Amino acid sequence: MMTMTRRQMLQLATVLAALPVAARAAPPVNYSEAEWRRRLTPAQFDVLREAGTERPFSSPLDHFYGKGQYACAGCGNLVFASETKFDSGTGWPSFWRPLKGGVAERNDTSLGMDRTEISCARCEGHLGHVFDDGPPPTGLRYCMNGVALRFEPAPGVQPPKGAV
């Protein structure tokens, strides 16, 4: 039987965390409406399952810039890295690039506008929209609902108070 030291376990965890999302992708999530309602808060259900939008400037994640990753609050799929987060001034957490395989895009013509909706690639939960007014290097602004995200801090980082 092989035993690992604490240091070896931490090194292994670091290597695994660095794997691309596709290398550790979980199977799709397909819950019933009743199960989603049981698993999510009413605000999360409204955004993730009914494509609602949270009020601007209401998310504790909006002005939080701790090191870590952001996961879908519905299924835990990793969708954004903290290194790509920026202050867009819009009142919603914004990123200039998603993690590979983390999100899906589809055309959204609701509200009389032509936009690109961003959803979780695993559970298809609505996260927000992407716009072409972001910073370099992509020029994109992934404008996300904070209630649809869960911050997963890097070791030693504390998540913001009130974050889901």
Please list the active-site residues.
143
Task: Report the alpha-carbon distance of residue 59 to residue 103 in Å, rounded.
Answer: 20
Task: Report the alpha-carbon distance of residue 148 to residue 127 in Å, rounded.
Answer: 6
State the amino acid at position 99 in one-letter form: L
Tokens 């670091």 belong to: 14
For the chain, the distance separating the N- and C-terminal CA atoms, rounded to the nearest angstrom, is: 40
State the amino acid at position 21 in one-letter form: V
Q: Is 46 left (phi over 0), alpha (psi -120 to 50) or beta?
A: alpha
CB atoms within 10 A of CB 82: 18
